[in-house]
Amino acid sequence: MKQGHVISHEKRKCDKLFQPLLLGFFTGYPVNICYEHHAALAPLLQFHLNNCGDPFTQNTVDFHSKDFEVAVLDWFAQLWEIEKDEYWGYITNGGTEGNLHGLLIGRELHPTGIIYASKDSHYSISKATRMYRMEIETINTLVNGEIDYADLRSKLLLNKNKPAIININIGTTFKGAIDDLDLVLQILQKCGYSNDRYYIHCDAALYGLIVPFTQHVKTITFKKPIGSVSISGHKFLGCPMPCGIQITRKGYITSLSTKIEYIASVDATISGSRNGLAPIFLWYSLCMKGRAGLQQDAKMCNENARYLKGRLHKAGISTMLNESSIIVVFERPNDPKFIRHWQLSCTRDMAHVVVMPGITRETIDNFFKDLMQERKKWYQVGIIVPPCLADDIGSQNCLCSKQKMRH
């Protein structure tokens, strides 16, 4: 086969593969496809950029983008209210690496500490506990997905002889629930844990760029006694390659920092080579959008999520949407083909749509219309009925026939 034919064959394969992305069918995962980096930044793909080592130490080799990395970190440090000379951070490969790093700092500061994480936490948290061979206390969740504060309190009291390393979810993966950081801090104090007996890592993978713009009170701020915050760069902000931002207190990083002669740098990161293109793409997005643009996106997604929830509820479909959330949880569609077509994510009898900036009202209307048409077929005979979601999303949100009879 000639080279030209191979290329056009591969291109057709790619076009087919990426069709759901281009058509906006990618509804179940937090991917923001609304960016135009590729036009302006594509020429950069000719360069190999590698930011290995510490972002604040310039390497002796020149193929890196650490100036952009530090500019992005400064932006987030300002957002999360920590002074330039008091923070340390780096651009990670994604939210998972941020969680691994945050919990590692917690473990270095408290080698005998126990990790406390709710059962709705992302799987990277249990991955970290296995990697670091740490003890974990899994905490129940409330029906909306928030950490169960009473369960946390009783487990903290049971383990008072050991420090606590707590993962706080600023938006859980499936239900988009935001743990009440202030309440957790109060519980720690009431249980007798002084500031030097705990470490808090905030996993803000998706919501780290939503809550600052939708909530009146500052949820994430280093003015509170938290140790680290991580976020995924490719989620709400949007970036063609997976990446993330990790910020912690400068004083906490010394124990992790090692001098590496080979790269002429110090290193406190998890990865070796790090993607040097990601900081430039992130920096570009932040400059193009600014806080005002992000606020607009957050407001629009919030409103669109409420719109979808309203349509589902009116049609008699069990659904739930947390406050400030963009994740609409509803009954699991009864057809794998439908799930695949709309790229939905499902757990037990639930599915969710993450209403990202690319999910327009038109996409929502098309999705809703398709769901209603298909649903008629699934449930027309009456042998199969929609699932009861009372335990998963609360009886007030469940509209199955059993709940209707009960009311």
Ligand X SMILES: Cc1ncc(COP(=O)(O)O)c(C=O)c1O
DSSP three-state, residue 352: strand
How many residues touch ligand X under the rule CB under 6 A: the total is 16
DSSP 3-state percent helix, strand, coil across the chain (nearest 5): 45, 15, 40
Q: Which is nearer to ligand X, 141 or 169 (CB)?
A: 169
What whole-number distance in Å separates Cα of residue 219 and Cα of residue 67? 29
145 binds ligand X (CB under 6 A): no
Q: Which is nearer to ligand X, 203 or 375 (CB)?
A: 203
Interaction residues for ligand X, span 196-225 (CB under 6 A): 203, 205-206
Q: How far is the CB of 402 from ligand X (least distance, A)?
A: 31
Strand 258-260 relative to strand 164-169: parallel, antiparallel, unpaired? unpaired
The stretch near ligand X (CB under 6 A) out of 148-156, 169-177, 218-226, 364-372 is 169-177
96 binds ligand X (CB under 6 A): yes
Q: Which residues pair with 284 in a beta bridge?
A: none
Continuous segment of H or E residues that includes residue 223: none
244 binds ligand X (CB under 6 A): yes
Q: How far is the CB of 212 from ligand X (least distance, A)?
A: 16
Binding mask 56-95 for ligand X (x = CB under 6 A): --------------------------------------xx
Catalytic site includes residue 230: no
Report the b/e string of 301-331 with b at 16+ CB within 10 A: bbebbebbbebbbeeebbbbbbebbbbbbbb
Name the amino acid, one letter, at 354. V
Residue 137 · residue 155 · CB < 8 Å:
yes
For the CA atoms of 266, 55, 219, 306, the dihedral, rounded to the nearest 10 degrees, stands at -130
CB within 8 A of 319, min separation 6: which ones? 309, 312, 313, 328, 329, 330, 331, 393, 397
Report the residue from 32, 50, 118, 173 that binds ligand X according to the rule CB under 6 A.
173
| Residue matched to tokens 């920590």 | 82
Interaction residues for ligand X, span 246-305 (CB under 6 A): none
Catalytic residue, chosen from 230, 232, 265, 325, is 325
181 binds ligand X (CB under 6 A): no
Q: How far is the CB of 244 from ligand X (least distance, A)?
A: 5
Q: How far is the CB of 164 from ligand X (least distance, A)?
A: 20
242 binds ligand X (CB under 6 A): yes
What whole-number distance in Å separates Cα of residue 34 and Cα of residue 234? 11
Residues marked as catalytic: 325
Would you tell me which residues interact with ligand X (CB under 6 A)? 94-96, 99, 122, 124, 169, 171-173, 203, 205-206, 232, 242, 244
